[in-house]
Amino acid sequence: MTKTQENHFDVLVIGGGPAGTTVASLLADKGRNVCVLEKAHHPRFHIGESLLPMNLPILEKLGVLDQVDAIGIKKYAAEFNSQETSLAQDTFYFSKATNAKYPFSYEVRRSEFDEILFKNCQQKGVTTLEGMTVTSVDLNDSIKKIHARDEQMNQHELTARYVIDASGRDTVLAQQLGSKKINPKHKMAAIYGHFKGVQRRTGNDAGNISIYWFKHGWIWLIPLKDGTTSIGCVCWPDYLKSRNTPLTEFLQQTLALVPEIKERMKDTQLEGKAQATGNYSYQSSLMSGDGFLLIGDAYAFVDPVFSSGVYLAMQSATRGAELVDQLLEDNTHNQSLVRQFEQSVAEEIKAFCWFIYRFNSPALHKLLMSSDEAAQHPTKQKIKSAVISVLAGDAYNNKAIRIPLRLFKLLYSINKLAAFNKNYAFNRFRKKQNKAD
């Protein structure tokens, strides 16, 4: 067995994506000796290109905002489109959130964005080892042993006082501990690709994400700075099982089901091949233990409909860095600090999940697409501002949106009762899909 030179660290981070590089950089800023193990090599492809406004203060803290501005296209709003409501399109501008300090965000190529974050943590003194796949972690002793394999199949053993799993959908520790559970409330999967030549909105709206409801789920269009557009369909299991053509052809057939998307894509060319992601939503029953922590997608992933993935990953990493630094300082597993951290992560995920679980329901569909019809009504303006705050990532501890959000949820219940048969049929359909293999 070979050993990596100087292979003991205060903190070892599994995964070099947004969560891993954020927590590593912030811990390095605090003087901690940190190592990041990444199985791939940057730049590498990743889906999830749409950031939220509340990513910006984190990027400022990391010192990379100017670099992200150079590679990203500004995203001022989230645009929703429907073929079933009287209002065919509604645009939720972040400048109308209750806190308008960050009125835009960015759409980014993840290969470029992730590489910026990775190089940033290197510049802060973090040891980074690419092409290293973690095979197991010994968690029983105070000093943790991390076993990894490089691309030449050499085995490596590293040790650390603390281990942070930021391995994304690989969910290294959750897999090892048997704590990963498929989310029974939301069973969807995605097919996606990058296209050249997609028609864009004009002016400041050119960088907005477009979201379309359709009968099999929903579709995203995310414009990127180089002229490419990321397009994907998040679909119900029964629809995906109906595929009898190659994935690329199936993706294009699916997109053609929405007339406006078909029009926007009439002169497009797919870059490479279409891809698919199954087993979409999951959560670990454990977020932490003695000497280890799960953050970002390594802990939970629900659905990208509100572009929350990168934000939640980097936000949990930011709070996680504070937690781990304090735990290392006290040299104990301070249950009070851990509980506070876990509660903050759970509450942020919950804020998005309320919308995600109901997104395809007729009641929420109608409610979101009627928000502009009473734009001059002060109470409804506050309700829409509260919803935009959630879309911007500003939901945790935002007292200003609590009452408007309660009113929004009340209106949702009223809509549900008003069209009882339609919503009841949808709930039965959804339960059937969530039980599908």
Last residue of a domain, one of 237, 254, 277: 277
223 and 286 part of one domain: no
297 and 329 part of one domain: yes
302, part of any domain: yes
1, part of any domain: no
* pLDDT tens over the chain, length 437 residues: 334 446 899 999 999 999 999 999 999 999 999 999 999 999 999 999 999 999 999 999 999 999 999 999 999 999 999 998 888 999 999 999 999 899 999 999 999 999 999 999 999 999 999 999 999 999 999 999 999 999 999 999 999 999 999 999 999 999 999 999 988 888 888 999 999 999 999 999 999 999 999 999 999 999 999 999 999 999 998 899 999 999 999 999 999 999 999 999 999 999 999 999 876 789 999 999 999 999 999 999 988 888 999 999 999 999 999 999 999 998 666 889 999 999 999 999 999 999 999 999 999 999 999 866 555 678 888 999 999 999 999 988 899 999 999 999 999 999 999 999 999 999 998 888 887 65
224 and 205 part of one domain: yes
155 and 231 part of one domain: no
Residue 200 belongs to domain with CATH number: 3.30.9.100
244 and 197 part of one domain: yes
52 and 149 part of one domain: yes
Residue 345 belongs to domain with CATH number: 3.50.50.60
For the stretch 328-371, pLDDT in tens is 998 666 889 999 999 999 999 999 999 999 999 999 999 999 86
Last residue of a domain, one of 277, 295, 327: 277
Last residue of a domain, one of 277, 305, 334: 277
307 and 416 part of one domain: no
Backbone angles phi, psi at 104, to 5 degrees: -155, 170
43 and 114 part of one domain: yes
Count structural domains, the chain. Answer: 3
60 and 153 part of one domain: yes
200 and 265 part of one domain: yes
Please give the pLDDT value at position 303: 85
Strand 89-93, strand 77-81: pairing: antiparallel
Q: Which of 219, 194, 223, 225 is nearest to 45 (CA)?
A: 194
* Confidence (pTM): 0.94
297, part of any domain: yes
2, part of any domain: no
66 and 78 part of one domain: no
65 and 79 part of one domain: no
Q: Which domain holds residue 13?
A: 8-71+108-183+282-353
